[in-house]
Chains A and B, each alone.
Chain A
Amino acid sequence: MSGPNFSNPVVRWIDHRLPVFTFMHHEMHEYPTPKNLNYWWNFGSLAGIVLVIMLLTGIILAMHYTPHVDYAFQSVERIMRDVNYGWLIRYIHANGASFFFIVVYIHIFRGLYYGSYKAPRELLWMLGVVILLLMMATAFMGYVLPWGQMSFWGATVITNLFSALPGVGEWIVTLLWGGFSVDNPTLNRFFSLHYLLPFVIVGVVVLHIVALHRFGSNNPLGIDVRGKQDSIPFHPYYTVKDMFGLGVFLTIFAAVVFFMPNAMGHPDNYIPANPLVTPAHIVPEWYFLPFYAILRAVPDKLLGVLAMFAAIAVLFILPWLDRSPVRSATFRPLFKIFFWIFAANCVLLTYLGGKPAEGIYVILSRLATVYYFFHFLILLPGLSIFETPKPLPRSISQPVLGSGTAGASKENS
């Protein structure tokens, strides 16, 4: 294993003592990548770029923001009206959070469809779920900072979730609040943690990538790379493809930031927080709606909270629920159908989470919640026993180059 030969003597001098250039060359240039990746594989690098955008705009916002109940709302309005380009930076940050979730949710569904959570990528997948949880905590606390009505009541309802825990519940909630209700101490600590957690996310992303580079990317066929003819170097092939995807993404993102910056927000958050009046309809940000729907579907307080957390916890054990050795849905006729039903069910839950908890919406929420867990806990383990997968191709190159051996082989994975 000899490293790359750098022509620049300074680079060579440094690399001999601190092999960062070898490392970068190895992991981002020659890094062999399956040659059949489709555009769904763009969303990982996109998520990384959005994280950087959030860090940059967030640090700038923190230069102008005041974390105090008497000034927070005004300081955000000042950012919007008086700070040079403050409106742009805040709109990028606020909409960036939504786009971050869009990108990451697509990234997750990509993994679900192509079986990217299966051996040997279980830890890679679980680190991804950790990132999702950290993102949720970060976005929740960020949304509290402007101290509007939705900020305040969102914080109240979500922190109160912990009061459902028997025995320690009240104690935990007081500890989170630093008082007897959501108040200035709460705002201060949320700001502190909102600043911290994104950097923790960066740390977990590094681990996520280390785990990724151990076995390389999965691919649309879900079969292992069989040799040199199945892969291409990351640079320039995928750097260019990722750049193209980034361009498309930024175009859409810019369109929202400039032309409909409040479309995904809630107007009540432009009313300063009032601890004595709850808005008639409190709804969380759209990216929490499926989980909110699950919370409300269960008539019991504690069980509702547990169901909501279980909806994410079940993702952790997914690699052991879906035992089918075939990764990609392309070769799993039944799984493919159920994947789309599951996806539609998630969209339904998102819709229901935004509706008032009454009448038909409650009934539908209950059905959709049951289906959500049914998919993971019963359907997937069952399918891995009863489904007959289609024959897998011999290798990534074979379907393209058609090397005659019409791949009826059942070996693999």
Chain B
Amino acid sequence: MAMIEFKNVEKYYGDFHALTNINLKIESGETVVLIGPSGSGKSTLIRTVNGLETVEGGELIVNDQDLANKKTDMNRIRKNVGMVFQHFNLYENKTVLENIMLAPRLVLKRNKSENEKIAQALLAKVGLADKGNSYPKQLSGGQKQRVAIARSLAMKPKALLFDEPTSALDPEMIGDVLNVMKDIAKDSDMTMLVVTHEMGFAKQVADRVIFMDSGKILEDAPSAQFFDNPKEPRAKQFLSQVLNH
């Protein structure tokens, strides 16, 4: 059963055609990396999956519900689909533990002791067991991003979306975050869609690589095949650019 399926999806910002005829199927448990030049529509595409952007045409089935249908309850989708942002978006007025526990408490009505136990375990998993009572502004970028990942995981989602999770980080912080993501990808039930420029991560972890340009998907191939022998000239060119610097 596909976790995420785009069927002829169209997206406009006013007159601007941001996504053109997107067809994409991501099976439950798959890890898919989405790459492409700046402005190609990667963020737009990933943000449609949890309804942060609406779609104007086609069908977008996520966890058996159609997001193209205006009647679909976005909150129900978001319970099952977490998202990690480039700029973390941690709650600035809450401690690390409160950040992780808020949505499970409000949305899932998880009881306090269980909530705390799960939150502590997740903090340990991302290597921040001692930071529970810190506020976001007291953390480094890499630590913030790991908290953001823990916050998403606390909802026990079926799928996780990552939009350039390491692009705002100092180089020495990137490894820690990627390691946490690799760990999550090992979980065979977790579906992951990742926008990233980290080609090492894509090669090592992704089952498939999607290459986008100008709002269209130009190539969709198993990771090894994509990196060894990209078919599209635009993808070849893009790869030579990102791999040579």
Chains A and B form a bound pair: no
